[in-house]
Structure 1
């Protein structure tokens, strides 16, 4: 169970890094918001889901 939580945290860190770099670049680029809006919303939803799933799995570790 500990390995699963560690993998989930690793995925969360990786996705957080991608979003922290990608969202400001997308917003600063002219005309990119309309093209990348769905991708950013999807990435944010996956990030929120990973936070909840990681918390759920972490609650099972004693």
Structure 2
């Protein structure tokens, strides 16, 4: 169970890093928001889901 939590946290860190770089670049680029809007919303939804799933899995460890 600890390995699953570590994998979830690792994926969360990678996705967070991608979003921290990707969202400002997308917003600063002219015309990119309209093209990438659905991808960003989907990524943020996955990120939120990972937060919830990681919290639930972590509650079983303690």
TM normalised by structure 2 equals 0.99
Cα distance between partner residues in 2 of 1:47 and 1:15? 7
- C-alpha RMSD of the superposition: 0.3
Structure 2, gaps ≥5 residues long? none
Counterpart mapping for 1:1-62 below 5 A: 1-62=1-62
TM-score by length of 1: 0.99
Relative to total residues, which structure has the larger helix share, 1 or 2? 2
Distance 2:40 2:20 in 1: 11
Paired residues, what number? 62
Q: CA deviation at 1:28?
A: 0.0
Which contiguous aligned blocks of 4+ residues in structure 1 show a shift greater than 2 angstroms? none
